[in-house]
């Protein structure tokens, strides 16, 4: 029986909570995985805690109906995130506060507090892993707890675990990926002859792009992801602030057409490779031959090709965003905790 707290309770946090609630019996019967949610701490929605467990169904209902959870009749209310993480009876921290790739906060403090207090952490928050992986991994190993961040790259589509676990024993020689759905959607639609600005507006209407689309179209989001892949899967020491980054804002309809004429397709590609004993990374638009598996990854789908020494090129394709798929990523990490500890 694992005691779990949610730090952050936005779309991804509630996505995970819904999956776990709906699959409670399935997880118990199939994997012997049982859990109790003791607390939820969200800056806007409120902070509730009970060491005997919350009624997750009630919490989800309250959240759905009122957009906040503070009215839940919990034993303790108003605990700060760090206080909740430190509670001695808590085993696993679900960290789903917003990504900040400049400071990593507040996620970084949550990661450190969890690991230093010997709690497993599962998270979709890219900031801490993109900025401080080595430090965090060291604390996790020292305290014999799990640092789970499958959901930071390709959300629930296996990426980190695929490379480190299924491809264990291989040397990953290079990585190439379509790591951002919004930009891949825009490039896909431009191939149909539509202008960048036009497609961007549509993507915003569909909820694929934010009102301020900078993080996607200027490639800050996939930058963090390729840095995470470079530093975790390839054990590099890449500094996010020094990685060459180019978004898709300068891509014209002409560029897209010209590539197509040459049997190629423009994709925003995150790349990591070994050079002179070091791991290097970059993110920029590239022309990919149509025969390459990545060239045929269309719309909001994401994909990664891992070049390995003994089992060739392995490509994984799947959704890269969404409440359920991102939430699910943390469930797969929890099941690994259950197998391993």
Among 5, 19, 108, 187, interactor with a second copy by CB under 8 A: 19
Residue 225 annotated to the active site = yes
Q: Which of the residues 167 through 206 are near a second copy (CB under 8 A)?
A: 167-171
> Does residue 277 belong to the site contacting a second copy (CB under 8 A)?
no
Q: Which of the residues 196 through 255 are near a second copy (CB under 8 A)?
A: none
Secondary structure in 3-state letters for the chain: CEEEEEECCCHHHHHHHHHHHHCHHHHHHHHCCCEEEEEEEECCCEEEECCCCCCHHHHHHHHHHHCCCCCCCCCEECCCHHHHHHCCCCCEEEECCCCCCCCCCCHHHHHHHHHHCCCEEEECCHHHHHHHHHHHHHHHHHCCCCEECHHHCCCCCCCHHHHHHHCCCCCEEEEEEECCHHHHHHHHHHCCCCCHHHHHHHHHHCCCCCCCCHHHHCCHHHHHHHHHHHHHCCCCCCCHHHCCECCCCCCCHHHHHHHHHCCEEEEEEEEEEEECCEEEEEEEEEEEECCCHHHHCCCCEEEEEEEECCCCEEEEEEECCCHHHHHHHHHHHHHHHHHHC
- Candidates 132, 225, 267, 271; catalytic one: 225
> Per-residue string for binding with a second copy, 46-85, x by CB under 8 A?
----------------------------------------
Q: Which of the residues 299 through 318 are near a second copy (CB under 8 A)?
A: 301, 310-318
> Does residue 14 belong to the site contacting a second copy (CB under 8 A)?
no
Q: Provide, rounded to whole angstroms, the least separation between the CB of residue 2 and a second copy.
A: 14
**36 versus 315: smaller Cβ distance to a second copy:** 315
> Does residue 297 belong to the site contacting a second copy (CB under 8 A)?
yes
Q: Provide, rounded to whole angstroms, the least separation between the CB of residue 178 and a second copy.
A: 12
Footprint of a second copy (CB under 8 A): 19, 23, 26-27, 31, 155-158, 161-162, 165-171, 291, 293, 295-298, 301, 310-319, 322, 324-325, 327-329, 331-332, 335-336, 339-340
Residues tagged active-site: 225
């Amino acid at each position: 029986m694992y005691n779990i707290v949610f730090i952050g309770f936005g779309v991804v946090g509630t996505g995970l909570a819904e999956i776990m609630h709906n699959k409670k019996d399935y997880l118990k019967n199939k994997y012997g995985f049982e859990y109790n949610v003791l607390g939820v701490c969200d800056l806007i929605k409120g902070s509730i805690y009970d060491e005997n467990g919350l009624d997750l169904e009630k919490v989800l209902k309250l959240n759905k109906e009122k957009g906040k959870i503070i009215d839940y009749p919990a034993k303790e209310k108003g605990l700060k995130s760090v206080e909740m993480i430190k509670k001695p009876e808590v085993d696993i921290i679900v960290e789903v506060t917003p990504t900040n790739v400049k400071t990593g906060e507040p996620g970084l403090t949550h990661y450190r507090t969890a690991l230093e207090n010997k709690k497993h952490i599962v998270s979709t928050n890219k900031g801490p892993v993109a900025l401080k992986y080595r430090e965090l991994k060291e604390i996790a190993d020292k305290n014999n707890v799990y640092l789970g961040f499958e959901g930071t790259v390709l959300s629930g589509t296996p990426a980190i675990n695929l490379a480190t676990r299924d491809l264990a024993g291989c040397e990953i020689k290079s990585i190439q990926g379509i790591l951002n759905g919004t930009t891949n959607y825009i490039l896909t639609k431009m191939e149909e002859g539509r202008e960048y600005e036009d497609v961007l507006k549509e993507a915003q209407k569909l909820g694929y792009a934010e009102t301020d689309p900078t993080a996607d179209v200027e490639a800050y989001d996939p930058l963090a992801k390729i840095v995470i892949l470079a530093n975790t899967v390839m054990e590099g020491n890449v500094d996010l602030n020094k990685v060459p980054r180019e978004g898709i804002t300068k891509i014209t309809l002409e560029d897209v057409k010209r590539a197509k004429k040459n049997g190629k397709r423009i994709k925003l590609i995150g790349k990591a490779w070994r050079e002179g004993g070091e791991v290097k990374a970059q993110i920029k638009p590239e022309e990919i031959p149509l025969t390459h598996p990545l060239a045929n990854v269309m719309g909001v789908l994401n994909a990664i090709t891992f070049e390995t020494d003994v089992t060739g090129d392995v490509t994984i394709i799947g959704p890269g965003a969404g409440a359920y798929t991102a939430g699910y990523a943390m469930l797969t990490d929890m099941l690994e905790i259950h197998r391993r500890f």
